[in-house]
Amino acid sequence: MVPRIDVFRCDGCGLCIKACPPKVMGLIQNKAVILVDLCEECGICHDACPIDAVHFRLPNQAVEQVHAGYKVVREFTPNPGNWRTRVPLGVDGEGNAK
C-alpha cells in the first residue's frame, strides 16, 4: 500500500525524503510528495516522519473477505404473512395487574 501524506500535518522538514531508499519523494510548496508509480511501498518514510504526517498501513492478509457465517443457507425462512400478533394483557404484559 502506497503511503499517504497528510499535507495539513506535514511541516516540510524533509526527513522522510532523506530516508526514502528509491528517492521518489520530494517537496512541493514546502510539503512532502511521493511519486506513487515508483514507490516501493517499504514504509521507511512513515518510520522517519517525527510528526506522523505519513500514513502507511499494510493490508490485512489474515482476514477473510467473507465470513463463514454468511455462507450458510437458511433451512427455514419465516413468512411474515403467517405471523400472529396479540395485544399484551394486563399492566405487566402477562395478564397481571398491579
Query: Which CATH number characterizes residue 20's domain?
Result: 3.30.70.20
CA distances from 65 to 28, 61, 62 (A): 38, 10, 9
Answer whether residue 13 shows pLDDT above 60. yes
CA distances from 62 to 1, 22, 25, 66, 90 (A): 16, 29, 31, 12, 54
CA 25 to chain centre: 25
Residue showing cell 528509491: 22
Report the pLDDT value the prediction gives residue 41, as an integer from 0 to 100: 87
Is residue 66 in a domain? no
Is residue 33 in a domain? yes
What is the arithmetic mean of pLDDT over 20-25?
Answer: 92
Q: Which domain holds residue 10?
A: 4-55
Nearest residue to 13 via CA among 32, 29, 37, 34: 32
Is residue 36 in a domain? yes
- Whole-number Å distance between alpha carbons of 3 and 25: 11
Answer whether residue 12 shows pLDDT above 90. yes
Total number of domains in the chain? 1
Answer whether residue 19 shows pLDDT above 90. yes
- Whole-number Å distance between alpha carbons of 4 and 2: 7
Is residue 47 in a domain? yes
Instruction: Please give the residue that has the higher pLDDT: either 12 or 74.
Output: 12
- 26-84 residue pLDDT tens: 999 999 999 988 998 888 999 999 999 999 876 655 555 555 555 555 566 666 666 66
Report the pLDDT value the prediction gives residue 51, as an integer from 0 to 100: 93
